[in-house]
Amino acid sequence: MNILIIGLGSIARKHIYALQSLSLDINIYALRSNINSEIEKKIENIYNLDNLEISFDFAIISNPTHLHFEFIEKLAKLNIPLFIEKPAVHNLKDIGELIKLIESKRLITYVACNLRFHPCIGYLKNKLSDEYLKINEVNVYCGSYLPDWRPNVDFRKVYSANASMGGGVHLDLFHELDYVNWLFGTPNQTNSTLRNVSSLQINAIDYANYILEYSTFTANIVLNYYRKKAKRVIEVVFDNEILEVDLINSKIVDNNDEIIFETPNFDIRNTYNYQLDYFINCLKENIAPMNSLRESVEILKIVLKDE
């Protein structure tokens, strides 16, 4: 299996590690912009997409978000299935034409939202399949400290901190909007507040608040870049119980503070393994995966509505 990587940053290395953990017969190629780029162990460099002599089984797009559109389009024209790091694009300009191109070629696409493979999310997804449960309220919070994300790197220079590169907490933490839509469905109405409020000295959005209105309940989502003690939780208030999902510590407690689900030895890196294994199986079976580009763009419309 031949796999092309676009972008060799930190997220790409997570995907490469996952690929190498799956015990597959694979060859990994990286598109590099400079012929003097460092040679990576077990990765072969290529320098352009013209006159390719290699038939790629799929490509992973993991370069900065503002470059995604260009490479999705180029690779789609080459009929290469696409595994696209979230968010798929940083704005919606010409996105309809891009989706038409992909669907005209019947290409398999998947937008990588690895938290769908978190065991706590899986538990909650299964519980919510009970149609008799009455939800009154959903609260989601994800806050962490951007300078801690990439140790020994000037956080102000990375794409997360720069709006022109597709940065901003609303795009970086797209996961929360993604799993809320996956768990609870498409909201009837949405409102958002997107601001830069911290002292981080970045020009990207560092605070986002989304209110998603459903027929019988409201979901509130808060995201930020400036919380020094990381917190990532989902609270679901039912008629007869409350569940609080702690995604960092991989456990779920009820309103009596009793742990009802826990995976204490869980490693978040496993979600990348599960995700790629799922995508590769979809390719082998020639079936459309969940979270295609078209599906993910519908969620992105909520994210970008008030930008």
Is residue 301 over pLDDT 80? yes
Q: What secondary structure does DSSP assign to 92-152, as a single string?
A: -TTHHHHHHHHHHTT--EEEE-GGGG-HHHHHHHHHTT-TT--EEEEEEEEEEEGGGTSTT
Specify whether the CB–CB gap between 6 and 83 falls below 8 A. Answer: no
Cis peptide before 147 (omega within 30 of 0): no
Cα 4 from chain centre: 19
* Cα-based angle 255, 244, 297 (whole degrees, multiple of 5): 150
- Residue 235, sorted as left (phi over 0), alpha (psi -120 to 50) or beta, turns out to be beta
Show me where the domains of the chain are located. 2-113+272-291, 119-263
Averaged pLDDT for residues 107-131: 97
**According to the model, what pLDDT value does residue 226 have?**
97
**Length of the chain (residues):** 307
Given this model, what pLDDT does residue 37 score?
A: 63
Task: Identify the pLDDT of residue 307.
Answer: 66
Tell me the average pLDDT across 276-302: 98
Q: Write the single-letter amino acid at 62.
A: S
Task: Say if residue 24's pLDDT is above 70.
Answer: yes
What is the Cα–Cα distance from 274 to 79, expressed in whole angstroms? 25
Tell me the C-alpha to C-alpha distance, in Å, between residue 57 and each of 2, 4, 103, 206, 215: 5, 8, 18, 37, 42
Whether the pLDDT of residue 256 is over 80: the answer is yes
Query: Mean pLDDT over residues 283-287, rounded?
Result: 97
Please, which pLDDT band fits residue 144 given cuts at 50, 70 and 90? very high
Query: Poorest-confidence range of 24-33, 71-80, 168-177?
Result: 24-33
**Residues 51 and 74 sit within 8 Å (Cβ to Cβ):** no
Average pLDDT rounded to a whole number, residues 107-119:
98
Quick check: 36 pLDDT over 70? no
What average pLDDT does range 274-297 have in this prediction? 98
- In sequence order, what E strands does the chain have? 2-6, 27-31, 43-46, 58-61, 82-85, 109-112, 135-145, 189-195, 207-213, 218-224, 226-238, 242-246, 251-254, 259-262
Mean pLDDT computed over every residue of the chain = 95
> Can 2-113+272-291 and 119-263 be said to share one CATH topology?
no
Predicted local confidence at residue 151, as pLDDT:
87
Going by DSSP bridges, is the β-strand pair 82-85/109-112 parallel, antiparallel, or unpaired? parallel
Q: Could you tell me the pLDDT band of residue 180, with boundaries at 50, 70 and 90?
A: very high
Residue in the block written with tokens 């000037």: 154
CATH code linked to domain 119-263 = 3.30.360.10
- CA–CA gap between residue 200 and residue 203 (Å, rounded): 9
The CATH number for 2-113+272-291, chosen from 3.40.50.261, 3.40.30.10, 3.30.1330.40, 3.40.50.720, is 3.40.50.720
